[in-house]
Homo-oligomer: A and B are copies of this chain.
Amino acid sequence: MRIAIDAMGGDNAPDEIVAGALETIELLDENDELILVGPKDVIEPRMPSLKSYRGAISVVHAPDVIAMDETPIESLRRKPKSSIGVIARLAKRGQADAVISAGNTGACVAAFQMRMRNLPGVNRPGIAVVFPTFEGPVTICDVGANIACKPIHLYQYAVMAGLYSQYQLGIENPRIGLMSIGQEDAKGNEVVKKTRELMKSDPNMNLVGNIEGRDIFQGVCDVAICEGFVGNVILKLTEGLVDGLFKAIKHELMEEKPRLAMKFKPVMKRIYKKYDYNEYGGALLLGVNGAALICHGSSKAKTIKNAVLAAKKYYTEKINDKIIEYLSGTPVSSETPNGILAQTPVRTTDG
């Protein structure tokens, strides 16, 4: 498979990105190829002789870079030859099976959505991240691609994130939770209620029902489904809260027991590492034709390596094929009236 990597994405680009790519080479199969994308004059001096890699790695020139704080759509338009724009186009043309970037998240989502076609049966791509909790990994989708979610989008996220959880993370028959504000069926807003009906009408979905914010960390489900606005708040709140709590613990220890604080430091580091979602290679844009990974802006070489391995597993496990197959066989469609199972196959008006 061919994996295109945005060499200029993130706070530690290009050094850490290039280093991460080089680290993975010995783990790849013979037919795999990494494509580093960015300004040639910046990337090539950072690489040892290309010849030593027997064609396992190549460089594609992209002179422009989209900064982390640029407006996504506008910057993509103004800089068609940006590294993000170019990796998306490589995927579009079938010259890359996977794309990886630690750059401007908004620009990545926009570029991948614009350039890479949706999988058949998928209305809207959604971003999935894996939260490594004390009770095991929980996949949350969507965390920000779609802030005008319809019930059918959320249903499809459940299908896609469920298959991802099963085949990428190895969780047998993953339990799907629908994020709401109370566990009873009657709770939730209109979109949540209609989504639950759609989910219930799918006999193959292992639905545990409504979940609440706290359930993510309590082993209640393996997959948590929510609309992009809510998921994005969850993602960023978690980041901020973990940082804030560790800061508070450190402060409290330093204030009273500085020696205890020193001993606690390596423990905190280990916990950070164990519960760091970057270990899973970043966020995945589910529903596009290919494997599209968006890494955290602070990514170092190891995250990029994890992302390459995650992309490879996603490709090898043929998860996109499984999504297409599942959605082509499901009785649930956007035309299913109020979640009551239509007795006859339903056709969309434009098909």
Contact = CB atoms under 8 A, between A and B. Distances in A.
Copies in the complex: 2
A237 B252 contact: no
Interface in A226-258: 226, 228-230, 232-245, 247-249, 251-253, 256-257
A257 B267 contact: yes
Contacts of A252: 267, 270-271, 274
A contact patch SS: helix
Interface string A250-280: 0111001100100110011011001100000
A181 B144 contact: yes
A218 interface: yes
A181 B237 contact: no
28 contacts: A71-B186, A134-B251, A144-B181, A147-B188, A181-B228, A181-B229, A181-B233, A188-B229, A189-B229, A212-B233, A213-B232, A213-B234, A213-B237, A213-B239, A214-B237, A216-B240, A217-B241, A217-B243, A217-B244, A218-B243, A226-B233, A229-B230, A230-B233, A249-B249, A249-B271, A253-B267, A257-B263, A260-B267
Interface of A: 71, 106, 133-135, 144, 147-148, 179-182, 184, 186, 188-189, 212-218, 226, 228-230, 232-245, 247-249, 251-253, 256-257, 260, 263-264, 267-268, 270-271, 274-275
